[in-house]
Amino acid sequence: MPSPYQPTNIAIIGAGPAGAATALRLSYLGIPCVLIDKAGFPRDKICGDALSGKVPTLLNRLDPAIMDRFRQRFRPVDVWGIRFYPPSKKLIELPFKVGYERIPDEAPGYVAKRLDFDAFLIEEVRRRPNIELHLNTEISSYEKTPTGYRIQAKDGGPAWECRLLIDASGAHSRFSRKEAGQEVDHDHYAAAVRAYYRGVTGFHPDNFIELHFLEKYNPGYFWIFPLPGGQANVGLGMRSDIVKKKKINLREALDEIIASPDFAPRFANAEQIDPTAGYGLPLGSKERTLSGDNYLLTGDAGHLIDPLTGEGIGNATYSGFIAAELAEKCLAENRFDAAFLAAYDVRIARVLRTELRLSYRMQQIMQIKWLTNLLTGIVAANPKVIEVLCRMYTDFELRKQIVKPLFWWKLFRAKTGKMPLPETVEAER
Ligand SMILES: Cc1cc2nc3c(=O)[nH]c(=O)nc-3n(C[C@H](O)[C@H](O)[C@H](O)COP(=O)(O)OP(=O)(O)OC[C@H]3O[C@@H](n4cnc5c(N)ncnc54)[C@H](O)[C@@H]3O)c2cc1C
């Protein structure tokens, strides 16, 4: 009897940003793969819908035509900075680029509904002849074999036997938990709810996204992001251990915040256009092993969300590219064992871990109210420091300085006239 398992070198489970990015990168490297998703697209993914600079940068690197096609087709909101409200409510506006000129096609970030963005990635996948795409196909069983994995879709659906399994099945990945042993740790996990509104007012003219760090919901934040067509993505996210400890109902909390005197005027003529929905965020604040014999974990399945900002699409895309580039080496060397695949963790550490560690440090600092208020007070009063912080998005060395107490001590002393500004700030004058 012929085997029900179709042979393939590489199978990817999940066709969200992590899986689609892996398949596209492989495709551009000339390597065929099977890409499987349980959903039909377009499909919603509960998210803030903000695409950080990493996403256009990586897609442009793959093929500049990709982001051009996306911008033309969906006209996403072009984002030029962040409005950051610490618990003291002292507004800090951080443009992504100092002295920027607003050219929408060159925006450093975008906001677009995941319904559109993810479906667009699938369209890109369909353009590639060497990606075998299977939608509406839910993988329900995994079996380790001496040479790889056997995977089977539910209800007697198709089955494959692969040498490398790339798990991109998101925050609720069963493979990540059961096969790779990456259990949820509530100290390193967040819960969040999202609602779509129409008619919210008071946005920055250049579409700055807004993060409101409210004392009652720390660590976490309330966000308002502008969407195309006068809509807005509004939500609240918090670390899961605190949600549990304080018994917070995030849906009720979101409604409460919107109705509070600080926000009610901006929602006075707004209407909610779909029910509030929630989902989990596996944060990258805990180091985990993301590879093993014949498998790699990418995106949310690998717990790679930024623990301060909740940004995960960029890291999902990045991890997909890294997985694809290693898969090329696996095929060249005919090696799919854990020792060889450990190179994935090494590269993830080099490219993403330092940033995740810094964000975790900042998340911890944000829990100390007096310190956050002191630091943000210094920043708000000093335009030169704001310029330096803007450089933080692209200057990694600077970001490392910012989490060091000495940097802030020097700023504090400079503010009180007791010391010159630190060199990083001086250099900006
Ligand atoms: C409320 C909220 C707000 C957020 N806001 C932002 C934001 O503004 N910006 C940002 O960058 N990040 C944000 N994130 C994080 C971001 O949504 C994720 O990091 C991102 O979706 C990860 O992409 P992924 O491809 O790893 O997983 P997903 O996007 O979840 O894709 C996983 C795919 O796997 C499929 N799948 C699952 N199980 C199976 C199976 N058994 N068989 C076949 N297919 C399967 C699913 O159908 C899905 O299509 C937010 C998250 C939440 C919850």
pLDDT, average across residues 251-275:
97
pLDDT band at residue 226, thresholds of 50, 70 and 90?
Answer: very high
What residue's CA is closest to ligand 1, atom 17?
47
pLDDT, average across residues 237-249:
95
CATH code of the domain made up of 5-77+103-185+284-358: 3.50.50.60
pLDDT tens per residue across span 19-41: 999 999 999 999 999 999 999 99
- At residue 425, the pLDDT reads 43
With a cut of 90, say whether residue 377 has pLDDT above it: no
Residues 109, 274, 224, 399: is their CA dihedral positive or negative? negative
pLDDT, average across residues 289-303:
98
pLDDT band at residue 395, thresholds of 50, 70 and 90?
Answer: low
- At residue 285, the pLDDT reads 95
Spatial CA neighbour of 373 closest among 89, 182, 177: 89
Q: How far is the CA of 171 from the centre of ligand 1 (A)?
A: 6
Q: How far is the CA of 44 from the centre of ligand 1 (A)?
A: 10
pLDDT band at residue 370, thresholds of 50, 70 and 90?
Answer: confident
pLDDT band at residue 389, thresholds of 50, 70 and 90?
Answer: low
- At residue 365, the pLDDT reads 81
User: Cis before residue 275, ω within 30 degrees of 0?
Assistant: no
The answer, yes or no, to whether any atom of ligand 1 lies below 6 A from the CB of 305, is: yes
Across the chain, mean pLDDT equals 91
What residue's CA is closest to ligand 1, atom 33?
14
Spatial CA neighbour of 13 closest among 199, 192, 212, 154: 154
Ligand 1 binding pocket mutation candidate from 22, 38, 207, 227 (most atoms within 8 A of CB): 38
- At residue 363, the pLDDT reads 84
Residues of the chain with CATH 3.50.50.60: 5-77+103-185+284-358
With a cut of 90, say whether residue 278 has pLDDT above it: yes
- At residue 359, the pLDDT reads 87
Residues of the chain with CATH 3.30.9.10: 186-282
- At residue 200, the pLDDT reads 98
pLDDT band at residue 286, thresholds of 50, 70 and 90?
Answer: very high
Alpha helix locations (H) across 171-236? 174
- At residue 397, the pLDDT reads 65
- At the topology level of CATH, where does 186-282 sit? D-Amino Acid Oxidase; Chain A, domain 2 (3.30.9)
Ligand 1 binding pocket mutation candidate from 313, 315, 359 (most atoms within 8 A of CB): 313
What residue's CA is closest to ligand 1, atom 5?
48
Q: Which atom of ligand 1 is nearest to the CA of 314?
A: 11
Contact 316, 170 (CB under 8 A): no
CA–CA distance from 61 to each of 21, 267, 357 (Å)?
12, 39, 26
With a cut of 70, say whether residue 391 has pLDDT above it: no
In the chain, pLDDT over 90 holds for what percent of residues?
74
* Residue whose tokens read 């490219």: 351
Distance between CA atoms of residues 347 and 110, nearest Å: 27
Contact 258, 234 (CB under 8 A): yes
With a cut of 60, say whether residue 415 has pLDDT above it: no
Q: How far is the CA of 14 from the centre of ligand 1 (A)?
A: 9
With 0-12 / 13-18 / 19 or more C-beta atoms within 10 angstroms meaning exposed / middle / buried, residue 410 is buried
pLDDT, average across residues 154-173:
97
The answer, yes or no, to whether any atom of ligand 1 lies below 6 A from the CB of 220, is: no
The answer, yes or no, to whether any atom of ligand 1 lies below 6 A from the CB of 46, is: yes
Q: 411: phi > 0 → left, psi -120 to 50 → alpha, else beta; which?
A: alpha
pLDDT band at residue 172, thresholds of 50, 70 and 90?
Answer: very high
* Least confident piece of the model among 66-75, 293-302, 376-385: 376-385
Residues 52, 56, 59, 61: is their CA dihedral positive or negative? negative
The answer, yes or no, to whether any atom of ligand 1 lies below 6 A from the CB of 66, is: no
Distance between CA atoms of residues 423 and 407, nearest Å: 9
Distance between CA atoms of residues 92 and 376, nearest Å: 8
Distance between CA atoms of residues 369 and 352, nearest Å: 28
Q: How far is the CA of 377 from the centre of ligand 1 (A)?
A: 35
- At residue 426, the pLDDT reads 46
